[in-house]
Amino acid sequence: MKNEDRYLKFVRWSDEDKLYVGYCPDLFPWGGVCHAATEEEAFGLLCGLVREEVSELSRAKKRMPKPMTRPMREAVPA
């Protein structure tokens, strides 16, 4: 598992912006960090930003934030 895979990333529709917005609360606690016309595009942008942030923290030898945010429910196989 890559370090960036430890952080919850999600995309949701914003009625206000009329776009999909990407979030990663553990790395960017101030809110949405990217916008796009489709869910897939927003998620791709979000993954790139998370990858950049994790890489920059590693390069600067800074401590990684502890992954704390979890989905409300865990998926249970049927």
Euclidean distance between the first and final Cα of the chain, in Å? 25
| Residue 14 near residue 32, CB atoms below 8 Å | yes
Please give the structure tokens belonging to residue 2: 């890559």
Residue for token digits 């865990």?
74
> What pTM, to 2 d.p., does this model score?
0.85
pLDDT in the model for residue 19: 98
pLDDT in the model for residue 47: 97
The band of 70, judged by pLDDT with boundaries at 50, 70 and 90, is confident
- Long-range contacts made by residues 70-76, C-beta under 8 angstroms, separation at least 24? 70/8, 71/8
**Tens of pLDDT, residues 28-38:** 999 999 999 99
